[in-house]
A and B are shown apart, each in its own frame.
Chain A
Amino acid sequence: MRLELHRARVKGIRWGSATALAGDGVLQVNRDELLALIREDGRFAGVDADLASPGDRVRIVPVKDVVEPRCKIEGDGEVFPGMIGDVETVGQGKTFVLDGAAVVTCGKIVGFQEGIIDMSGVGAEYTPYSVTFNLVLIFRPVDGIEIYEYEQACRLAGLKAALYLARSAHESGAAADRVETFELPSVPELLSAYPKLPRVAYLYQLQTQGLLHDTYVYGLDAKRLIATIIHPNETMDGAIVSGNCVSSCDKNSTFTHQNNPVISALYARHGVDLNFVGVIISNENVTLIDKRRSSAYAVKLARILGIEGLVISEEGFGNPDADLIMNCHRAEIAGIRTVLITDEYAGRDGASQSLADATKEADAVVSCGNANMIVELPKMDRVIGYTDYVDVIAGGFSGSLRADGSIEVELQAITGATCELGFTRMGAKTL
């Protein structure tokens, strides 16, 4: 499978008469056209849109998801298959990317787990979404709506907006300034191409625990999935979509699924230090039997593929630590070397044990930081969304929001701060 990502650099964002990428690299958005599209969904009583650029003294809260604007320009299917389009296989041909732009969905809260994005100040150093030019959608649901329905409406709206921006910009003649090619052939071809390199795969755990804890693969709720194989290029076309905010710091947003850094890092070393054979997706369900089934199945797939090394990434914390540890233990027992990517809940003072589960085989772990660390976020000039939720979101506590508009919260309230795909440079060490 071969996919070209045609990246057009976005250097700014503003409202304008037509949605297009202007010559100066500024993404111009026709607000009315965009809002009309999103308001087609009758589940919203109101939708508003706003803009936030890096360095702005702006806070976005409560954040549900972040999506990168992309659209297919050649090849089968459309981005976000099974969600807003058909289920045809994606990951081949050409995909246009508004590189540096993002759609942020925000609005009346669905659950505790939603997060904060600050575009400047201390908070901006922790969230990866402070460096993107953000189009923010702010939702208000119709009265009496079922919470699952509202969550789904928010999720789809973000995807629609992302596709709309990319499609409109591309149709207006925006040209890519960089083309990246990703190609991974069939397994037999891979094995004969690099017979001497160690065979490596990526075991990609998806959070699947119900409301605000789900993930979708080609539109299928991944909790109903048995571990399976996905081509890495499919993820770049939005085959995996986030429907969760398992504390927002360790949420894998749709943006990070589209730009999975483990997949990039494996591609980068492919054919040099390792033979990147494939990606196995599995889930993190709520019963022990489901966890055991998923883990047994995922490791079995790795064995069928003759995998010698696995990177395993987690999403969330607490019981998903059990999935991570179980996968590690099973794989190591089967002779497959593993490296785990997780984050930590070591307490505000950093003195507690960080994970809920442990095994001696887990001797190679990458930590994406202690989510309990307290950060003080200064008052911003402008808030997009609603700050009155800050006390109740995960990572917030009674008194988090102060009278002067500043906020004291745990890192876990900051969207993407300790992303367990290893998206940022964040980590933790022992002193």
Chain B
Amino acid sequence: MSGYRIVHYMNQFFGGIGGEESAGIKPESRSGAVGPGMAFSKALQGKAEIVGTVICGDGYFAENMDEAVEEVLRLIGEFKPDAVITGPAFNAGRYGTACGSVADAVGKKLKLPVVSGMYQENPGVDLYRKSVIIIPTSDNARGIKDAVPAMTNILLKLLSGEALGDPRTEGYLERGIRVNTFHPRSGAERAVDMLVLKMRGEKFETEYPMPVFDRVAPADPIKDLKGAKIALLTDGGIVPTGNPDRIEASSATKYATYSFEGVRSATSDLYQTAHGGYDPTYANQNPNRVLPLDVLRDMEDEGVFAKLHETWYTTVGNGTPVANGKKFGSEIGAQLKKDGVDAVILTST
């Protein structure tokens, strides 16, 4: 036997167990190829072999995602594979999500090459395109004849350890991952080339398409300020002197929480800035200029609001990736909610 051992993940329908009435089945495995696996076996041309198939009902997977992923991974692992195929799921939403989720876990936990296939608008694409190589397919199973060779090619390439090139030439869905590369020409030359094309009305290609930022509906306002507990946050990098949690001057990977207990004002003997993106002189002289504790304490005393939340949160917002900011916000928000905070003030430099 040449080659590599492949495990194929599919749902109950492609696994030949049944349609929606069987969607509740738990993960199970078969040795060898099943259903669409036959087509993959043929396309692999002996370079790799499908040694096993793991099947799970779409309904079961959707309702018990954590357990399902764990069990599927265990079953996959039993075959000691070199790589994994999930799907293709075409436009089946639950199946696509399962294929993405299994592929994501295979990549992260088993650290094996993995490829999936689905229709561009399958919800599994948006959920997993960043971490999973997904081949675009048609929206129904008739697309299997195109999906199989495309998925097989990528899988063999991944198995050979070859780095994948441009998504468009390789034929997988863009993951949205920015990767550095050296161009043949300098940035300045590329800019002038681009400008000449743009002014002539000819076709040019931007190197960084503008992102679309999502929106959140505004939360309801505080109804009773006098009874409210207010939390103070900053991404202006104010930290206790000496930066005990060593928050980075830029590209922060963490935030820190400290207590205001017994502190009336953000004075320079207690706090400093750890931010690498602005002149630190003024914030170091008087950290209240970033973290307005003095004012908030006075207002608390005056009864303007009920209570200043004694825990404060800080990080450095300097070239800090949006994903980190998101993670910080999500964790901090959950904690604030739990602590009974009514409203939040965030200061930025």
User: Are B198's CB and A339's CB within 8 A?
Assistant: yes
Q: Which one, B184, B189, B208, B211, contacts A265 given CB within 8 A?
A: B189
Does B277 lie at the interface of the complex (its beta carbon under 8 Å from any beta carbon of A)?
A: yes
Does A411 lie at the interface of the complex (its beta carbon under 8 Å from any beta carbon of B)?
A: yes
User: Are A345's CB and B321's CB within 8 A?
Assistant: yes
Specify which of B175, B195, B210, B317 lies most central, judged by the most chain A CB atoms within 10 Å of its CB.
Answer: B195
**Interface 9-residue window, one of B5-13, B47-55, B248-256, B334-342:** B248-256
Residue on A with the closest CB to B210? A358
Does B178 lie at the interface of the complex (its beta carbon under 8 Å from any beta carbon of A)?
A: yes
CB neighbours (8 Å) of B211 from chain A are 353-355, 358
Q: How far is the CA of A147 from the CA of B188 in the complex (A)?
A: 34
Known contacts A269-B196, A425-B182, A427-B187: A365-B319 contact under CB 8 Å: no
A392-428 Cβ-contact flags toward B at 8 Å (1 or 0) = 1111111000000000001110000001111111111
Residue on B with the closest CB to A308? B199
Q: Which one, B187, B207, B251, B324, contacts A424 given CB within 8 A?
A: B187
CB neighbours (8 Å) of B207 from chain A are 365-367, 427-429
A 360-392 contacts with B by CB, 8 A: 360, 362-373, 391-392
CB neighbours (8 Å) of B319 from chain A are 247, 317-318, 345, 371-372, 394, 412
User: Are B213's CB and A353's CB within 8 A?
Assistant: yes
Q: How far is the CA of A354 from the CA of B323 in the complex (A)?
A: 10
Q: Chain A interface: which size bin?
A: 35 or more
CB neighbours (8 Å) of B209 from chain A are 430
User: Are B187's CB and A337's CB within 8 A?
Assistant: no
CB neighbours (8 Å) of A265 from chain B are 186, 188-189, 191-192
User: Are A429's CB and B187's CB within 8 A?
Assistant: no
User: Are A426's CB and B278's CB within 8 A?
Assistant: no
User: Are B321's CB and A426's CB within 8 A?
Assistant: no
Specify which of A265, A268, A274, A354 lies most central, judged by the most chain B CB atoms within 10 Å of its CB.
Answer: A265
Specify which of B253, B318, B321, B322 lies most central, judged by the most chain A CB atoms within 10 Å of its CB.
Answer: B321
Q: How far is the CA of A368 from the CA of B191 in the complex (A)?
A: 11
User: Are B179's CB and A350's CB within 8 A?
Assistant: yes
Q: How far is the CA of A311 from the CA of B176 in the complex (A)?
A: 26
A357 to chain B, nearest CB (A): 10
Does B177 lie at the interface of the complex (its beta carbon under 8 Å from any beta carbon of A)?
A: yes
User: Are B279's CB and A210's CB within 8 A?
Assistant: yes
User: Are A428's CB and B181's CB within 8 A?
Assistant: yes
Residue on B with the closest CB to A361? B210
Does B204 lie at the interface of the complex (its beta carbon under 8 Å from any beta carbon of A)?
A: yes
User: Are A410's CB and B251's CB within 8 A?
Assistant: yes
Q: Which one, A342, A392, A411, A426, contacts B208 given CB within 8 A?
A: A342
User: Are A430's CB and B186's CB within 8 A?
Assistant: no
Known contacts A363-B206, A397-B253: A341-B187 contact under CB 8 Å: yes
User: Are B190's CB and A366's CB within 8 A?
Assistant: yes
Specify which of B175, B204, B248, B319 lies most central, judged by the most chain A CB atoms within 10 Å of its CB.
Answer: B319
User: Are B191's CB and A339's CB within 8 A?
Assistant: yes
Q: Which one, A112, A286, A349, contacts B249 given CB within 8 A?
A: A112
Does A333 lie at the interface of the complex (its beta carbon under 8 Å from any beta carbon of B)?
A: no
User: Are A309's CB and B276's CB within 8 A?
Assistant: no
Does B142 lie at the interface of the complex (its beta carbon under 8 Å from any beta carbon of A)?
A: no
User: Are A352's CB and B278's CB within 8 A?
Assistant: no
Q: Which one, A338, A342, A397, A429, contacts B166 given CB within 8 A?
A: A429
Does B246 lie at the interface of the complex (its beta carbon under 8 Å from any beta carbon of A)?
A: yes
A259 to chain B, nearest CB (A): 10
Does B127 lie at the interface of the complex (its beta carbon under 8 Å from any beta carbon of A)?
A: no
User: Are A421's CB and B277's CB within 8 A?
Assistant: no
B158-195 Cβ-contact flags toward A at 8 Å (1 or 0) = 00000010110000001111111111111111111011
User: Are A210's CB and B250's CB within 8 A?
Assistant: no
Does B280 lie at the interface of the complex (its beta carbon under 8 Å from any beta carbon of A)?
A: yes
A329 to chain B, nearest CB (A): 11
Q: How far is the CA of A310 from the CA of B176 in the complex (A)?
A: 28
B264-288 Cβ-contact flags toward A at 8 Å (1 or 0) = 0000000000001111110000000
21 A-B contact pairs sorted by A residue (CB < 8 Å):
A200-B195, A286-B278, A345-B320, A351-B176, A352-B321, A355-B211, A358-B210, A362-B206, A363-B206, A365-B207, A365-B208, A366-B191, A367-B207, A367-B208, A369-B180, A372-B319, A394-B319, A396-B248, A396-B249, A398-B248, A426-B181
B residues bordering A, Cβ < 8 Å?
130, 164, 166-167, 174-192, 194-196, 198-199, 204, 206-211, 213, 246, 248-251, 253, 276-281, 317-324
Inter-chain pairs besides A344-B178, A397-B253, 14 sampled, C-beta below 8 Å: A112-B250, A210-B279, A262-B192, A274-B192, A341-B188, A345-B319, A347-B322, A347-B324, A354-B211, A366-B187, A369-B180, A398-B246, A422-B186, A428-B208
Which 7 A-B residue pairings sit nearest by Cβ, starting from the closest? A422-B187, A210-B279, A347-B321, A422-B188, A352-B321, A261-B188, A112-B276
